[in-house]
Structure 1
Amino acid sequence: MAAFAPARGLSRVFDSDLWWSFTRSPVVVVSAVVALTMILSALLAPWIAPHDPFNLATLDLLDAFTPPVWLEEGNWRFLLGTDDQGRDVLSTIMHGARISLFVGFASVLFSMTLGISLGLIAGYLGGTTDAVLMRIADIQLTFPSILVALLIDGLVRAMLPRELHDQIALWVVIFAIGISNWVQFARTVRGSTLVEKNKEYVMAARVIGLSPVRIMVSHVLPNVMGPVLVIATLNLGFAILAEATLSFLGVGVPPTQPSLGTLIRIGNDFLFSGEWWITLFPGITLAVMVLSVNLLGDWLRDALNPKLR
């Protein structure tokens, strides 16, 4: 019987309204394919990338500024051309996408965990706790997320030596982006918790003596996760853009770990000298990645909305 459990699980997925909605939207299917292709390309970059852009022994400055293969001086070794260091643009994009996606997923996971925890506590306990947490959230909403991230990064740079900051720069960016986006999760979860905590199943859990923590985690949390998943999907695109913005401004990940934003910044220095491909292709990759994720988030929001079924 256990052997048929996975088959039954897949059957439920393919028979669900969510799968039906997914297959009926060509735009969503294409977006999912594009997003999955980019994620797999980034994850498998060390094995499938044509070159290793971080191996100094394989770089040759004589290959610098080689144009894409379809131009007159193009080389089939470098399909999308090379940058000022002779690095293959296609390979740097694949490796840079790894960092951009990692920062995006990690920062969303951090902000989601923090926001869900504070939202559950505020909604379930209410009173002074709710008032204090929501006023903190209201204050943070008055500042743009990118300014909060810049402030946190600046404070860390001022407090830590340069060498130590360069070692933990990636985690500083993740923390800065995550801490600037927790409010949406907290306010959504708090509103749903205010509704759920007065329902019969929560009152029954209180009567039998379950602790507030267990009630929040085991009973309330599963019933408020729908909107949270939608916000997380949409915030993934925003987080990737925020990381690219910080890196473009020179306060994101270090140059030794170039993300898509860093590649765009490097290529921007040579844009008006004719080497347009150095910044154009990373920029297109970033735009397509964020667009595909946002389209999936919009679809998920509509698919989980019972009023639109």
Structure 2
Amino acid sequence: MMLPTARVIEFWRSAADSDIYWSFKRSKLIMLSALIVVVFFIGAFGAGFLAPHNPFDLASLELSDAFKPPFWEEGGDPKFILGTDDQGRDLLSTIMYGSRISLVVGFLSVIFAMVLGIGLGLVAGYMGGGIDAFIMRVADVQLSFPAILIALLVDGVTRGILGEARHSDFAEAVLVVAIGLSYWVQYARTVRGSVLVEKNKEYVQAARVIGLPGPLIAIRHVLPNVLGPVLVIATINLALAIITEATLSFLGVGLPPTEPSLGTLIRIGNDFLFSGEWWITIFPGIALAALVLAVNLLGDWLRDALNPKLR
């Protein structure tokens, strides 16, 4: 019997010999993208230990520190490397905490969209008939609207139901649901197409012959064989979800200013851009662009690496 340590060693050896790892290490651009993503993750989720200041600690904020430029500009303070915003919050620390919020919302919305899309696609492809037609027509109708409009609609409905005061308490959950409902269609259509192919194969017919119920066949046997393309879509959609969250926050319908995501920081800085405080919006914008670009490049690489026709 193989010991757990030996299994781990064997796993890493097989991973190092795989085509995916070879494709990864031969591209310096992909390695740089992965490094950028890792740095963002470390900075975002380690902000409590790594950030120079805590922008959520109101007792430590001084309005006299507001609008300080980066330390290399005239009037800058070495304590605030990238300067401060209109409330005297250290911009570097706020970007680190804001990246955490953007990443959490992005990941949770992608997971929500995956669960919803995979479930509906599996049902549509395996059941067929009227259920398939209904789910796909709903998907076709949603595809006729931009994702940002769907997210705005969901956010507006929840504001009307909960009210402005309670909406702020559930702003993050509302964003996750709004963005998730905007992107489930791609998962559903992809899974449905794969299920239509898989359900006619011999292993599914054999499972039916031995008397396994349909839902069990779909989940235990069909689902694992259709998840490959879904992982690629999820990687690419993570960047789209982060952009959508930033857009909603920039429009003022996302997270409140007390929970500054990257989009909220850009919106706040935009109010002062033409008065000379350019750093409040430029640095969060650069951080957002770098994160989204790195995730997009990794998604494109993963799509090509998992395509056997391109190996």
Runs of 4 or more, structure 1, over 6 Å off, are: none
Q: 2:93 aligns with which of 85, 91, 94?
A: 91
Q: 1:128 aligns with which of 121, 127, 130?
A: 130
Q: CA deviation at 1:10?
A: 1.0
Q: 1:159 aligns with which of 155, 161, 174?
A: 161
What is the alpha-carbon distance in structure 2 between the residues aligned to residue 300 and residue 244 of structure 1?
Answer: 24
What is the alpha-carbon distance in structure 1 between the residues aligned to residue 212 and residue 84 of structure 2?
Answer: 62
Q: CA deviation at 1:66?
A: 0.8
Paired position in structure 2 for 1:32: 34
Q: CA deviation at 1:30?
A: 0.5
Secondary structure at the residue paired with 2:256? Answer: coil
Which whole-Å deviations, capped at 9, do the CAs of 1:30-52 have from their partners, x for residues lacking one? 00010111011100111110001
Paired position in structure 1 for 2:114: 112
TM-score, normalization by structure 2: 0.98
What is the alpha-carbon distance in structure 2 between the residues aligned to residue 27 and residue 216 of structure 1?
Answer: 39
Residue pairs, 1:1-309, within 5 angstroms: 1-2=2-3, 3-309=5-311
What is the alpha-carbon distance in structure 2 between the residues aligned to residue 290 and residue 300 of structure 1?
Answer: 15
The Cα RMSD (Å) is 0.8
Report how many residues are paired.
309
**Structure 2 residues not aligned, in runs of 5+:** none
Q: CA deviation at 1:161?
A: 2.4
What is the alpha-carbon distance in structure 2 between the residues aligned to residue 205 and residue 24 of structure 1?
Answer: 42
What is the alpha-carbon distance in structure 2 between the residues aligned to residue 57 and residue 102 of structure 1?
Answer: 26
Q: CA deviation at 1:79?
A: 0.4
Q: CA deviation at 1:195?
A: 0.3
What is the alpha-carbon distance in structure 1 between the residues aligned to residue 87 and residue 164 of structure 2?
Answer: 25
What is the alpha-carbon distance in structure 1 between the residues aligned to residue 19 and residue 221 of structure 2?
Answer: 24
Q: CA deviation at 1:75?
A: 1.1
Q: CA deviation at 1:128?
A: 0.8
What is the alpha-carbon distance in structure 2 between the residues aligned to residue 159 and residue 142 of structure 1?
Answer: 26
Residue 301 of structure 1 aligns with an amino acid whose one-letter code is: R
What is the alpha-carbon distance in structure 1 between the residues aligned to residue 146 and residue 265 of structure 2?
Answer: 25
What is the alpha-carbon distance in structure 1 between the residues aligned to residue 127 and residue 105 of structure 2?
Answer: 33
TM-score, normalization by structure 1: 0.99
